Chains A and B, each alone.
Chain A
Amino acid sequence: MGTLKDEIAIIGMGCSQFGERWDAGAGDLAIEAAYEAYEDAGIGPEDIEACWVGQMYAPVGGLGGSTIADTLKLTNIPIIRNENWCTAGHIALIEAAIAVAAGLYDVVMAIGVEKLKDTGYPGLGTGRGMSPVYEARRTAPGSFALIATRYFKKYGLSMEEGKETIGKIAVKNHRNGSMSPKAHFHNVVTLEKVVNAPIIAYPLGLFDCCGNSDGSACAILTRADMARSFRQDPIYIKGFGIAMDAVLPHTRPGFEWTSFEALKNSSKKAYEMAGIKDPREEIDVAEVHDCFSITELIIYEDFGFSQHGKAKEDIDSGFFELKGGLPVNPDGGLKCFGHPVGASGLRMTYEIYKQLQGKADLPERQIKDPKIGLSHTFGGPPQISAVAIFGNEKDKA
């Protein structure tokens, strides 16, 4: 497999205010994100040569790309939508990067946008998946809770220990989110409140689950060799990996439910491209898919941040806290931003981009001198994972 390390750079990013945006439609959210990105890159819409859109639930007949063209008046250029569950934003970014690296375009946009709060109900809906029969009553919490039940069983955690372990992830992310102006939620929560919260899908309680929000985030990409003509601190793409699992994991004989091939393979590919041997030591900051607190825990293990079965030790020691060895979800993650599905991958990338530039929107959240950052989304029942690794310097080689 080839590499695109240091071939593409991000020269501008934008992120809308996340939350229950009764005031804004999908188009309004996209405008917020896109115009911040234009300004950040010092360009205008006329400079965009192609656009990739990450959107899971397109509002009208799956026409996500058309909506963006209509709203942003991006006319006469290709606009391509990606719908790959929660990874749609990341895959839009990666597809845009590949097109630039192919030499087809100099300046392109990747934008993720999702308007969830016009559906009239608070959740993502029942019956998510591919089959109206086999997955008739599948819900997101009901699917990810299956991981928690099995993880606690496999590693001998009592329900109390298990809930406290994943609860600490929720506490951490809420603490970080309280310092994140664009987040949906800014409340600091105690572990006691987290473990005693109402159950959504046992064993997951309210604070183990991310909220449903509206939001958009946008990136402007160019060739790495052109990047400095736009700005002095571009962020380089070091590597990426996408892995989709073959069969829905739940039907796979022998599947453990505590570790996912898609997570392992997507991170492995990204590490290989980025030349990362020891992710725990080499990555300075990560935004990972904390749709549910148990998801963040298994990601620690499948990404090599922690050993399998040992994430609890790192959680207990504060390794993933803002001032820990590897800060994870410094902006509060999905837990505080909520999860407007197709927007999340780019929102996470926005945080990494800002952190690597030393420009976190509140200084108390800025991590000291990070060089390498990772963003990641994990989607489906779950089934697909996308990882991107960024750096603020090109390799000297």
Chain B
Amino acid sequence: MSLKLFRRSLWVYHLNSGGCNGCDIEVLNIFTPYHDVERLGIKLVASPRHADVIVFTGPITRETLPKAIRAFFAVPEPKAVVAVGSCACGGGIWYDSYAVIGGIEAFYRILEKYYKVRLPPTVYVPGCPPKPEAIIYGVAVLRGVLKQKQRKTYFLEKEVPTLTRDFIVNLEKYMKQGGEISIGKR
């Protein structure tokens, strides 16, 4: 899913959707001279109507949900979403709280159910808070400049020794003979 939606500079609208302010500071950090993303054309704008990208930082609390929906619809198409921080990605430590919607995915479920909208491309930036470089990397992945490194990994244990009375009593002897029995090597 490479993004060729945006040919020119990305204008970013930053929305704190109930976060603790940690991610907000990191988002503002990438506009300082040290990381200076304005050299890449990324600019922070004050109104969602000017923006291409909307940045969510926070687990979308019940109080911010209507505001988040209004801001989301105010961004003109084509748009993209950056979910910064663990809270926005999956709810963080408040994922099952009564006062919290639970991350951008739960937010999308609400949008799909009640508004029936086409969901924009989204980049998830985990971290609590993520490094400023991690946010820059996320935007680079969104633009298709850099490749995504993170992949789902799946492991299934293939062979296990059959547990018999003799085997478990003389475990040390068998381990010397067989050698490779993986039981949590220290």
Q: Do A and B come from one complex?
A: no
Partner-B contacts on A (CB < 8 A): none
